[in-house]
Structure 1
Amino acid sequence: MANNVSRRWRPRSLPQLVLLAFVMVMLPMAVLIFQAGQTLSELSELADVSARQAVDQTRRARTLTNLSVEMERSARQYAVLEDPGLLSIYNERAERYRELLDQQATLLGNDPIIDVLEKELTGLQALSTASLQDIQEGLSDFQSFSQHTDELLNKTRDIVDARIDTIRARAREVKRQLWLQSAILIPVSLALILFFTWLIIRPIKQLESRILGIGSGDRQAEPVRLQGPSELVNLGERLTWLSTRLEELEAQKQQFLRHMSHELKTPLASIREGTGLLADGIVGELAPRQREIVLLLDESSQELQTLIEQLLDYNLLQHNRKLQVKRFDVSHMVQEVLNKHHLALESKAMDVSWSRYRLPWQADRTRTLRIVDNLVSNAVAYGEDNGKLWVRTFVHDDMLYIEVANTGEPIADKDRDHLFEPFYQGASKRKGPLKGSGIGLSVASDSAAAQDGTLELVEDDDGEAAVCFRLILPWLGERLEENDNDEQAVQNA
């Protein structure tokens, strides 16, 4: 099965699945980081280029402004001093102005200010070959030239500001895109995390459910086919093998108990029949000492039979949890239990007090009788000779209460927490030659729990009993109408 599952698209092993999960979860994040890096790199490059161009173009516009001022100053000085050197400087400034103006024209494009400045510059350059009077008359043109140059500077600044605004808008767009990509890719990563977590947890949950089923005895006829990494699939196969093996061992144990109970009961029945014949004097009268020994053998064989029945009851209870709910008379059930133990009660001269009034109830009669039988058996076994035994039955808050109490040695404090554990035997000594099996109270407790009830050791309300066990059982199933015939219901039980 592991090979069939591992040939699918799923990874073959748990490390591969974890590695694939890591890669798949990181992939959207890597895409996001890559996109962010590319966009930020583009934006950074754009900002760098724009910054350089802005500096160059602004500096060029300022240089043009300075050149216009220097040209005007040289022309005015020449008009006063008539120094040819000043005229040479004027021509150099004009040529430099034209060169820079041509470069600035690439920024402004077809802006009319370029044509205006070129025309004005051509007219001002013509002054270098004009007469002194023409130069003096042309000085007034420098005012318009300076104004247009300042206007060129302002337009250059406007273009630079527009570029800065464009970069800012681009930065906002990049930010919006990054947020949008994050809003998409981060949920994708979370979804992948949940998906791969489910892929890993699902087979583990299935294994846990199978383990709980094996532990509780609720094994599936056909286990759910486990899908996942090969390690977990192999573990599931091992659990299936273990479950099968446990079922085989359980069947062997059941068979062994059945055979042993039969093998033990057959000679035990013969022993009890023989001791009964001897005690009745069928083969002749017995001497008092002989009769005492025969009665001891009969009592011991009866206790041995009780131990065998308790062992079988415990084993049956562990594997048969189906309830057989019926309506019965609680007082009649108690009387049946006391009749079963009347010889032991007479031999110990115990005074029995029990509730004889009719008390119809609906529960699992077999399990309830088993509980009361175990409690009465323990009371007889551990109670004092010539002591008292109480079996109280009553209903309170729609719950059935059955109390079995006796005089004698109280249960030690160290044993109270372990009374209902299987095969636990406390410090109290059992009366008789046979030692108890330690499963009677465990069977009783499990029988109560199977009916949603409780069995506990409590203090006797009257203060007369040294030991008092209280059984509390609910009414199982729907209640019958008040006018139902209780007598008929009890007879049907």
Structure 2
Amino acid sequence: MTTAVSRRWRPRSLLQLVLLAFLMVMLPLAVLMLQAGQALSELSRLADQSARQAVEETRRARTLGALALDIERGARQYAVVEQESLLDIYDERLAEFRRLLARQRELLPDDPNVKALSAELDKLAELPGLPLEEFKDRLTDFLSFAEHTEAMRHATNRRIDDRLDVIRARAEGVQRRLWWQTAALVSASLLLMLLFTRLIIRPVRQLERRILGIGSGGQEAKRAPVQGPAELVSLDERLDWLASRLDELEEQKQQFLRHMSHELKTPLASVREGSSLLADGVAGELSDHQREILELIDASGSELQQLIEQLLDYNLLQHNRRLEAERLDLATVVKEVLAKHRLALQQKEMRVACFDGPLAWWADRTATARILDNLISNAIAYGEDGGRLEIRARADQERLVVEVANSGEPIPEEDRPRLFEAFYQGRIRRKGALKGSGIGLSVAADCARLQDGTLELVGDSRLAVCFRLTLPRPAPANEHDASTPALAGVQERND
């Protein structure tokens, strides 16, 4: 259950968390867009204003140059034709030049050419009142007037270029500032994305681990409660309920199996004991037909007992996965298992070829015996009468390989992918009075898997069916005895 503190600080819902994440991630980007818009607006306004001023000042400088030429031209025309109207035009152009020069002085307040032009204008304004001869002698004043006008025009162009350089430098500064702001704000957005992604993914991963833990059936360690949106916290609480419910169902199943195994074994033992007494002639001699029926009852009881034991083994493997490895002689284990099936092998008239020991290896005795027992039982059940059963083994420094092969009908290709599934029965029918449970190979595969090994169906050049068990080399801590033999031979015998 969640605590009051976790409820206080977690978002109320997943939708609120997603919306909050979207707004928080978009906020730095919105600030960046706003600042970029303001900077671009400022640069645009400055560029527009500077362009207008540059055009106006350039045009005024050109107009002053043209007026200087017109003033000089008008004075020289008057000196030639001596018309009074030309002096009026001369005065008007001087006045226009003076007015434009005053505005140009605002642009170039400290320029010496502007000051020189003001003095030149005063001198040129005296010309209309002079006698004609003196007027003609003063025409040389226009040379310096034209030079100062041209110099003022160049100064104006330089001032415009300087202003453009200032605007360019300011634009570069704004660009650099925008780049730094972009890097900072985008980084902030990425950090916020990572933060909110973690806030969303972390409880989801906690739930995923919880579900995997429930599915694997392992005992959960002490875990922190899920802190996050209300929907995920509620889901965690439902998983708690589901886990407790599954534990209850598992306990009920275990109890049912324990009771059923006891209830089934007790009357089955009585049946087998009674059939054994009848076979011993306690109730009188039996006819051949009666003995045949009694043998069928005893064989069926043995099959039923084996099915019950397989079912209990399968259930035990699903929940008790702790193994105890010990150094054992694999040849001895194989002989013990073969001894259990001696009567069945004699009845099938199967010839058994088994490797010669000793073959030492570190493994769990019970799990390894279960594998061999199920493989041999499978060979007896599905192998041909009077056929052949071979048990081969070899070992090196890395792994142990055990093969159980028998003659008979090959396993169809369509059955092989599901061969080790629990309760799956293929197309080949089991030979005998009772139908199999379909869990023998599943139990064997689980026993191999618990020892970090594999059990697989492989091809064999001589026999139709061959199962290969591969067990890896145990941890070095367990290997403090003599090294295992490299190869175990094969010794044939008839049971």
The answer to whether the superposition gives a TM-score over 0.5 is: yes
- Is the 1:11–1:17 contact (alpha carbons within 8 Å) kept by the matching residues of 2? yes
| Cα distance change of structure 1 residues 279 and 112 upon mapping to structure 2, 3 Å threshold | same
The corresponding residue for 2:492 is none
Structure 2: which 5+ runs fail to align?
A: 485-495
Q: Distance in 2 between matches of 1:119 and 1:471?
A: 117
Amino acid at match of 1:273: E
CA RMSD after TM alignment: 2.3
Q: What secondary structure, in the 3-state scheme, does the structure 1 residue paired with 2:310 have? A: helix
Q: 1:225 offset after TM fit, Å?
A: 1.8
| Cα distance change of structure 1 residues 430 and 66 upon mapping to structure 2, 3 Å threshold | closer
Q: Distance in 1 between matches of 2:341 and 2:154?
A: 121
Q: Distance in 2 between matches of 1:373 and 1:299?
A: 18
Select which of 470, 474, 477 maps to 1:472: 470
| Cα distance change of structure 1 residues 414 and 139 upon mapping to structure 2, 3 Å threshold | closer
After TM superposition, the structure 1 = structure 2 runs for residues 245-256 of structure 1, keeping only pairs within 5 Å, are 245-256=245-256
Q: How many residues align?
A: 482
Q: Distance in 2 between matches of 1:73 and 1:326?
A: 125
Q: 1:5 offset after TM fit, Å?
A: 7.2
Q: What secondary structure, in the 3-state scheme, does the structure 2 residue paired with 1:480 have? A: coil
Amino acid at match of 2:29: M
Q: Distance in 1 between matches of 2:202 and 2:49?
A: 56
Give yes or no for the alignment of 1:271 onto 2:304. Answer: no
Q: Distance in 2 between matches of 1:406 and 1:471?
A: 15
Question: Which deviates further from its counterpart, 260-269 or 216-225?
Answer: 216-225
CA deviations 1:6-58 (Å, max 9, x no partner) are: 74555332232222222222222222222222111111111111111111112
The corresponding residue for 1:53 is 53
The corresponding residue for 2:82 is 82
- Is the 1:57–1:104 contact (alpha carbons within 8 Å) kept by the matching residues of 2? yes
CA deviations 1:46-78 (Å, max 9, x no partner) are: 111111111111222222222222222333333
Question: Which deviates further from its counterpart, 262-271 or 439-448?
Answer: 262-271
Q: What secondary structure, in the 3-state scheme, does the structure 1 residue paired with 2:11 have? A: coil
Amino acid at match of 2:455: L
Give yes or no for the alignment of 1:366 onto 2:366. Answer: yes
- Is the 2:332–2:357 contact (alpha carbons within 8 Å) kept by the matching residues of 1? no
The corresponding residue for 2:292 is 292
Amino acid at match of 1:307: L
Q: Distance in 2 between matches of 1:84 and 1:356?
A: 145
| Cα distance change of structure 1 residues 249 and 51 upon mapping to structure 2, 3 Å threshold | same
The corresponding residue for 1:449 is 449
- Is the 1:5–1:228 contact (alpha carbons within 8 Å) kept by the matching residues of 2? no
Q: Distance in 1 between matches of 2:280 and 2:214?
A: 53
- Is the 1:328–1:365 contact (alpha carbons within 8 Å) kept by the matching residues of 2? yes
Structure 1: which 5+ runs fail to align?
A: 485-493
Q: What secondary structure, in the 3-state scheme, does the structure 1 residue paired with 2:427 have? A: coil
Q: Distance in 2 between matches of 1:117 and 1:403?
A: 117
Q: 1:317 offset after TM fit, Å?
A: 0.5
Question: Which deviates further from its counterpart, 5-14 or 412-421?
Answer: 5-14
Q: 1:406 offset after TM fit, Å?
A: 2.8
Q: Distance in 2 between matches of 1:224 and 1:84?
A: 109
Amino acid at match of 2:176: R
Q: What secondary structure, in the 3-state scheme, does the structure 2 residue paired with 1:357 have? A: coil
Amino acid at match of 1:181: Q
Amino acid at match of 1:342: R
Q: 1:194 offset after TM fit, Å?
A: 2.6
Q: Distance in 2 between matches of 1:386 and 1:77?
A: 144
CA deviations 1:119-164 (Å, max 9, x no partner) are: 2212221223333343233222222222212221121111111111
Q: Distance in 2 between matches of 1:458 and 1:73?
A: 116
Q: 1:307 offset after TM fit, Å?
A: 0.4
Structure 1 length-normalised TM: 0.91
After TM superposition, the structure 1 = structure 2 runs for residues 457-468 of structure 1, keeping only pairs within 5 Å, are 457-461=457-461, 463=462, 465-468=463-466
The corresponding residue for 1:104 is 104
Q: Distance in 2 between matches of 1:245 and 1:416?
A: 36
Question: Which deviates further from its counterpart, 1-10 or 95-104?
Answer: 1-10
- Is the 1:6–1:230 contact (alpha carbons within 8 Å) kept by the matching residues of 2? no
CA deviations 1:233-257 (Å, max 9, x no partner) are: 2223222322222222111111111
Question: Which deviates further from its counterpart, 90-99 or 4-13?
Answer: 4-13
| Cα distance change of structure 1 residues 106 and 483 upon mapping to structure 2, 3 Å threshold | closer
- Is the 1:268–1:305 contact (alpha carbons within 8 Å) kept by the matching residues of 2? yes
Q: What secondary structure, in the 3-state scheme, does the structure 2 residue paired with 1:417 have? A: helix
The corresponding residue for 1:418 is 418
Q: Distance in 1 between matches of 2:147 and 2:198?
A: 76
- Is the 1:6–1:229 contact (alpha carbons within 8 Å) kept by the matching residues of 2? no
CA deviations 1:306-330 (Å, max 9, x no partner) are: 1000000000001111111011111
Question: Which deviates further from its counterpart, 19-28 or 300-309?
Answer: 19-28
Question: Which deviates further from its counterpart, 130-139 or 325-334?
Answer: 130-139
CA deviations 1:155-199 (Å, max 9, x no partner) are: 111111111121122222222222222232223322322332222
Structure 2 length-normalised TM: 0.90
Q: Distance in 2 between matches of 1:482 and 1:157?
A: 101
